[in-house]
Every structure is written in C-alpha cells, then in structure tokens.
Amino acid sequence: SSVSRSNSDSWDIEDENAEQLIIEEDSHRGPCAGATTLGCAVPPPPVRQIAPIVPQQPAKVALSQTEKPAPIITPALSEDDEEIIQSVVQGKIPSYSLESKLGDCTRAASIRKEALQRITGKSLEGLPLEGFDYESILGQCCEMPVGYVQIPVGIAGPLLLDGREYSVPMATTEGCLVASTNRGCKAIFVS
C-alpha cells in the first residue's frame, strides 16, 4: 500500500497502518546492543562456534644469505619526485597532503603509489595509475589514491595488527571513507 499526503496537516488511515506494521516488525528483533549490557531479562542469542580461517601460506623460496629479494622496478622518476617520495617514506611529508602541496593530483597519486611500494616492499604493478582523472575525485569520493580498479583505490594505514604494520587499500566512491579509516588506523597505531 502507498502512503499519500495532500499536505503536512492531513494523514491518511494508511499511515497509521504503516506505522503499526513497522512497530510490529521491529518488535520481532532481538535486543539492542545496549540491552545486553544493561541487564535486561532477554537472553542474548546463542553463540555459534565457527572454525577459524587459517590462511594458506604461499610456498616459500629460500634465499641464500647473499641473495636479496628482487627490487620493484618503477619508471624513471624526476629528481624532485624522488626527493618527495623519500620525504613521504621517511614520514616528513604526510601522504594525504600531496595533492595540495603539488597541485597535480595525478602526480600526487604516482608519488604516493611509489612511496607505498617502497614502504611495504610490495609491488603495485598490476594496479593501473594512468587513464584516470584524479582531479575529478579530489575532495569527492576517495582520499589518497594510488590507482584505480574501475573505481578509485585509496590507501589507509599503517594499521598495526599483532605487532605488524599493514597498509589497507580501499576501492570506494564513498566520500571520507578512506580518510576516516586512516584516522582510525593512526589512533590504533599510537594507542
């Protein structure tokens, strides 16, 4: 059924029925999160035991003590870009400020991507950078982009888990999502 109102002063009978239906449907739900901590008489739902997910370890290739991991090959960078990348890696320039400092969103994404590869030691070669208009997303839908996968990919972190630091790639068009996640990662990191 539909609810129709000719103006804000008149209500159809259907409105009352719809309101009652909402109340009835909501009453079938379990207790809210606060109810379990406030000592309500409603028992919590039973906890199901779920076997932990154990990630499969990739086959390790032993390196002799003289061998080093293969370097990440990146395109030639200008001397200025190299200096900025080093400053980001060393924490002297925050990654989130590159767009405003450089005035070039594509260059900022390129520098951020290279800095991330150096910090993590992981290649982002499969993540395209060229062919996307980074200016169009500035302040709109994805902060700190390092590439795109049909939608922009931003990076949050480092996230400290079990004593290890992780960078968290996030493909999103949700405004402020990466920035707020990044702030949360930093709060966890310093706590």
More confident residue, 85 or 70: 85
Quote the CA–CA distance of 141 and 113 in Å, as a whole number.
18
Whether residue 145 lies inside any domain: the answer is: yes
pLDDT digits (tens, 9 = 90+) for 52-80: 545 555 444 444 455 554 545 555 689 99
Instruction: Provide the angle, in degrees to the nearest 10, between the axes of the packed helices 79-89 and 105-120.
Output: 50
Whether residue 46 lies inside any domain: the answer is: no
Quote the CA–CA distance of 104 and 83 in Å, as a whole number.
16
Q: What pLDDT score was predicted for residue 41?
A: 45
Cβ atoms of 42 and 31 within 8 Å: the answer is yes
Whether residue 33 lies inside any domain: the answer is: no
Q: What is the CATH number of the domain that holds 157?
A: 1.10.3270.10
Q: What pLDDT score was predicted for residue 51?
A: 52
Q: What is the mean pLDDT of residues 85-102?
A: 96
Q: What is the mean pLDDT of residues 91-119?
A: 96
DSSP string, 146-175: EEEESEEEEEEEEEEETTEEEEEEEE--ST
Quote the CA–CA distance of 93 and 89 in Å, as a whole number.
8
Nearest C-alpha neighbor of 109 from the set 153, 156, 45, 79: 153
Whether residue 11 lies inside any domain: the answer is: no
Whether residue 161 lies inside any domain: the answer is: yes
- Phi and psi (nearest 5°) for 169? -75, 140
Sorting pLDDT into bands at 50, 70 and 90, what band is 25? very low
Quote the CA–CA distance of 54 and 74 in Å, as a whole number.
33
| Number of domains the chain is built from | 1
Question: Structural domain of residue 178, as residue ranges?
Answer: 79-190
pLDDT digits (tens, 9 = 90+) for 137-179: 999 989 999 999 888 999 999 998 998 999 999 999 888 999 9
- Please give the sequence-ordered ranges of beta strands (E in DSSP) within the chain, or none if there are none: 145-149, 151-161, 164-171
Whether residue 162 lies inside any domain: the answer is: yes
Whether residue 45 lies inside any domain: the answer is: no
Instruction: Evaluate if pTM is beyond 0.85.
Output: no
Whether residue 62 lies inside any domain: the answer is: no
